[in-house]
Amino acid sequence: MSEETIHPIRFLLSDMDGTLLLPDHSLSQRTIAAVRALREAGVFFSLATGRPPRAMLQQIEALGVDVPTAGFNGGTLVNPDGSILVAHHLPAEAALITLALLCDQPEVEIWVFADGEWLLRDPSGPMVPWEQHGLGYAPVVVESFEPFLGRIDKIVAASANAQLLVELEARLQPKVAGLAQVSRSQPVYLDITAMKANKGDALKTLAAHLGVALEQTAAIGDGGNDPAMFEVAGLSIAMGQAEEVVKRQANLVTGSNVEDGAAEAIERLILHRQ
C-alpha cells in the first residue's frame, strides 16, 4: 500500500461483499476490531452495498453501525431504527427495457428486488443457493415481474459467464442512459438501479446528514459500483483483488479481502493519522 497526505477522516463509507466480507460472507475478527477502534476514535462508519437493506442486518449488528446505511447501491438509505431516509425506485421504462434485453439470455438469471422481497421466476437457477446464503433469506417465486413495475429497487442479471455480463453492460447502458445506472457490483452480478441509486450520491447524502465535509470522508470498495463514491470521497481506497479499472480510479490500493485489506486500510490510513 502506498501512502500520501490526506485530510483527517471523520467518516468512512465501506462496501461489503469483496471488501469487508470474506469470500464466505463472514467478517474476520481483525475487521470487526478495526471498525470498533474507528468508531471509538470518533470516526463515523457506515455501509454502502448492492444488497437489500434486510440483508445487511447481521453485519450492522456485528460492526455496531449506528448511523444510516445505504442498500441497493445507494438507492435506499435506512436509518438505524429501520425507517427509510431516502428511497429511489427504478423507472418502469428502464425496468421494461432491461427485462426485455435480459429475457433472451439463457445463461443469465434475472432477479428483481421490490417491496422488500427478492423476486424471481425460476428458483432452480444455479446461482440461487449462493445468493440465498449471502442474503440470509429465500426468494419469492412470481409468474411475472409486471405487477412490480414502478416499485423496483434493483434488477440483477446473475451469471457465471462474467464476460457475457461485461457485454450486456455495454449493450444496456446506452438503452437506459439518463434513466438508470448499470454497473457490475461483482464479476458475476450486473446491477440496474435508478439514476440516483449510486454510492456517490449516497456518500454525499450521508456526509451531509452527519455534518461531515466531503474532503473528510473516505470510501473503500472493490466493485464496478464503487468508483461512484471514489469520485466524491476525500480519500478513496480500492481492494487488492479489484479489477484494474477500479484500482485506477482510487487514490490508494490496499490488500485483498482475504488479506484483511479493509482492516489494514483502516489501521494505517485512518486510525494512524487521527
pLDDT of 168 reads 98
Can you give the pLDDT at residue 7? Answer: 76
CB 128 within 8 A of CB 109: yes
pTM over 0.75: yes
Query: Amino acid identity, residue 250?
Result: A
Q: Helix H segments across 227-273?
A: 227-230, 244-247, 261-265
Reported as a single tens digit per residue, the pLDDT across 187-243 is 999 999 999 999 999 999 999 999 999 999 999 999 989 999 999 999 999 999 999
User: Which helix (H) or strand (E) covers residue 111, if one does?
Assistant: strand 109-114
Question: What is the tens place of the pLDDT at every residue in 234-274?
Answer: 999 999 999 999 999 999 999 999 999 999 999 999 998 76
Q: Residues near 18 by Cβ (< 8 Å), separated by ≥ 6?
A: 186, 221, 222, 223, 239, 241, 242, 257
**Is residue 2 very low, low, confident or very high in pLDDT (cuts 50, 70, 90)?**
very low
Name beta bridge partners: 189. Answer: 158, 186
Please say whether the beta carbons of 75 and 42 come within 8 A.
no
Residue-range domains of the chain with CATH: 11-87+197-273 (3.40.50.1000), 92-194 (3.30.1240.10)
- Residue located via cell numbers 437493506: 53
